[in-house]
A and B are shown apart, each in its own frame.
Chain A
């Protein structure tokens, strides 16, 4: 009986000793993961963080390791994977601060992923859940609007924060410089080609005007000579196509110019703005 009891004790001690790695080893591994992340060796950082998670039977490092993996994927532009690991990390939050950090990180990834509605909803949830974080919520909403090409709305958001005067003015400046797509389309209805000229595409505008005049002339001449079928065919197959093409081109060029403007603005902020960015 005594021998049996001793064997049970020894066996339990063996299992317990072998299954649980010492804390010091796991801590060192976590430090190593962060070091790899700091050195921008993201592939290796993810591997080592996965190793940490696998051997961390008590899940003490699950939040940190999963958050680190999420950030590695975010740096690599793999936003879907980043969100998955962020979601896993959210299950292991141990305090409010970690919960808020996780939420904000999720908003940032959604901004980069251009999931505007989800990001806005999460920013609003942050504001409602933590009233002291209202300024932070407005800040990230500003960035959400910037990435959604709504620079006017972004300027309004930054206006609510005292310390974001620079971003407010920057957004207003971009909003003033952008081309009005509606205006480009409207003037193209009255004068084909004018919308393209408004967007700076002069040659396209002149060509569009030329095609419309030529096809219009041919169509009218055909009707005048009572060649009704010819006139109708030229009108429907040529003139209307050039006319509608002119309107869609006006819209397309205005949008393209705006995209160039927004992308260069975001690029400028990426390189020159020193504050928090997504």
Chain B
């Protein structure tokens, strides 16, 4: 008798499960969340954000808001990320995660868009109350803030803050600091001056020796031809080649200045890329609690 009862109960429950499965919705909150997480892991950030925003509770879920802000930052939408960060819960704010996210967003915006450091993005450390934060979050914040300062105002007193990094990293960070303080730039004024004395010399200074040699040959040859034509009393040809040499001379100086500016830009971009690579390898020093929310 008891066997039959058990059997009947099993059949009934199994049938009930099948029936409820048939009313299973593709767009149920659980399914939307699963799909959104899948898109996020596939790095299809635009679609994952759209899916997360379909969930009714996304505004009250810190994990979702953190993921959305990360996705916006990955796509370079820094303003949208700021808006998402600003609506995160107070509980997240007390832990310092929100401040860290803001700092990270700020740093990436400055580094990637090269927007000038104006009052809109000014970071006021005195408004940040770190006492309630865990040591992990405090450490992460201080480390990333160091790089934010390095990107905006590289200065010698940052050396005093190197102790917040691990001993293994200090040498590398010291090198990065020195690179930012004293990048190997070249002066456009010196380059232009050198080219005005000897055509092409400024280009050699700007690390373009082949162009410098060509400039020198062209200008010198035109000058010589102009001189010999004047000597041979061919006034028109003399003035023609004289004009040509003047044109080469002026364009050589202009070209030298531009070449130097391009060289300097290349150096700055190179330094930025080194810093970026260093930070990416360390997840921008994101605290463990934050990384768990986005993985």
Binding site for B on A (CB under 8 A): 2-3, 5-6, 9-10, 13-14, 17-18, 20-22, 25, 29, 46-47, 50-51, 54-55, 218, 225, 227, 229-230, 233-234, 237
Q: Are B228 and A13 in contact (CB under 8 A)?
A: no
Q: Are B14 and A218 in contact (CB under 8 A)?
A: no
Near A by CB (< 8 A), chain B positions 12-48 give 13-14, 17-18, 20-22, 24-26, 31, 34-35, 38-39, 44, 47
Q: Are B38 and A54 in contact (CB under 8 A)?
A: yes
Taking a contact as CB atoms closer than 8 A, the residue among A3, A21, A47 that contacts B50 in the complex is A47
17 of the cross-chain contacts (CB-CB < 8 Å) are A2-B6, A6-B9, A9-B10, A10-B13, A10-B14, A14-B17, A17-B17, A17-B20, A17-B21, A21-B24, A22-B22, A22-B24, A225-B232, A227-B228, A233-B221, A237-B221, A237-B222
Q: Are B26 and A51 in contact (CB under 8 A)?
A: yes
With contacts A21-B24, A25-B26 known, is A2 near B2, CB below 8 A? Answer: yes
With contacts A13-B14, A230-B225 known, is A18 near B2, CB below 8 A? Answer: no
Chain A residues positioned under 8 Å from B222 (CB to CB): 237
Chain B residues positioned under 8 Å from A229 (CB to CB): 224, 228
From B25, B26, B222, B232, residue with most partner A Cβ within 10 Å: B26
Interface residues of chain A: helix, strand, loop or mixed (majority): helix
Give the B interface residue count (CB, 8 A). Answer: 34
Q: Are A22 and B6 in contact (CB under 8 A)?
A: no
Taking a contact as CB atoms closer than 8 A, the residue among A18, A55, A225, A234 that contacts B26 in the complex is A55
Chain B residues positioned under 8 Å from A50 (CB to CB): 35, 39, 44, 47
Q: Are B17 and A13 in contact (CB under 8 A)?
A: yes
Known: A5-B6, A54-B35, A237-B222. 20 other contacts (CB 8 A): A2-B3, A3-B6, A10-B14, A10-B17, A13-B18, A14-B17, A18-B24, A22-B22, A25-B25, A25-B26, A46-B47, A47-B47, A47-B50, A51-B26, A54-B34, A55-B35, A227-B228, A229-B224, A230-B228, A237-B218
Chain B residues positioned under 8 Å from A47 (CB to CB): 47, 50-51
Q: Are A17 and B18 in contact (CB under 8 A)?
A: yes
Q: Are A6 and B20 in contact (CB under 8 A)?
A: no
B268 interface residue per 8 A CB criterion = no
Chain A residues positioned under 8 Å from B20 (CB to CB): 17
Q: Are A9 and B21 in contact (CB under 8 A)?
A: no
- State the CA gap A233–B223 with chains docked (Å): 11
- State the CA gap A10–B232 with chains docked (Å): 111
Q: How far is the CB of B116 from chain A (nearest CB, A)?
A: 34
Q: How far is the CB of A269 from chain B (nearest CB, A)?
A: 34
B95 interface residue per 8 A CB criterion = no
Rank and list the top 3 A-B pairs by shortest CB-CB distance, nearest first.
Answer: A17-B21, A13-B14, A17-B17
- State the CA gap A114–B24 with chains docked (Å): 46
B111 interface residue per 8 A CB criterion = no
Chain A residues positioned under 8 Å from B10 (CB to CB): 6, 9-10
Chain B residues positioned under 8 Å from A18 (CB to CB): 17, 21, 24
- State the CA gap A14–B9 with chains docked (Å): 14
- State the CA gap A26–B14 with chains docked (Å): 22
- State the CA gap A180–B225 with chains docked (Å): 40
Chain B residues positioned under 8 Å from A25 (CB to CB): 24-26
Q: How far is the CB of A160 from chain B (nearest CB, A)?
A: 44
Q: How far is the CB of B256 from chain A (nearest CB, A)?
A: 21
- State the CA gap A218–B237 with chains docked (Å): 8
From B3, B9, B22, B225, residue with most partner A Cβ within 10 Å: B225
- State the CA gap A72–B39 with chains docked (Å): 18
From A5, A9, A18, A51, residue with most partner B Cβ within 10 Å: A51
- Nearest A-chain residue to B39, judged by Cβ: A50
- State the CA gap A29–B14 with chains docked (Å): 26
